[in-house]
Amino acid sequence: MAAQRALFRLPPVTLAAVVLLAACATPIAFAAQGLWLIYLVPIALAWLVVRLRTEADASGIVVRQAFGTRRLAWDEVAGLRLRGSAWVRAQLHDCDQVVRPAVRSLRASPPAGWADAMM
């Protein structure tokens, strides 16, 4: 049986909002010399939408943020902090916290069958 893996990322439709922002910035970008730099904002947002993700499998968690990736084994994780609708944080045994991008408390429950696989 293949290993189960959960992938949490921002919805791809979020890129549509980024494209709309770039389209709305076009009149401003051509209003004066140097204002084309305003296009850096939608480019940065598109980078974040594509880059941010959290992967979880039986061996641990891989957290991919804007400029780095961190791998955590399950034995490093003391628990998960759920706060309202904010992103879930992995509480480590050394009292450090790691934000899990794109994992919100409303979607934090594991997929069906994971409880048996983790035992």
Place of tokens 């893996």: 5
Do residues 62 and 94 both lie within one domain?
Answer: yes
Domain count, the chain: 2
Do residues 70 and 46 both lie within one domain?
Answer: no
Do residues 22 and 72 both lie within one domain?
Answer: no
What is the C-alpha to C-alpha distance for residues 17 and 85, in angstroms, rounded to an integer? 21
pLDDT at 102: 75
Task: Give per-residue pLDDT as tens, 76-87.
Answer: 988 888 776 677
Do residues 113 and 60 both lie within one domain?
Answer: yes
Residue 82 lies in a domain: yes
Task: Give per-residue pLDDT as tens, 25-46.
Answer: 999 999 989 999 999 999 999 9
Q: Which domain holds residue 23?
A: 7-51
Average pLDDT, the chain: 83
Do residues 85 and 101 both lie within one domain?
Answer: yes
Residue 109 lies in a domain: yes
pLDDT at 22 over 90: yes
Do residues 36 and 62 both lie within one domain?
Answer: no
Do residues 39 and 62 both lie within one domain?
Answer: no
What's the Cα-to-Cα distance from 85 to each of 13, 64, 70, 94, 98, rounded to whole Å?
20, 20, 23, 25, 16
pLDDT at 101 over 70: yes
Confidence band for 18, pLDDT divided at 50, 70 and 90 = very high
pLDDT at 93: 87
pLDDT at 116 over 60: no
Residue 2 lies in a domain: no
pTM: 0.70
Residue 20 lies in a domain: yes
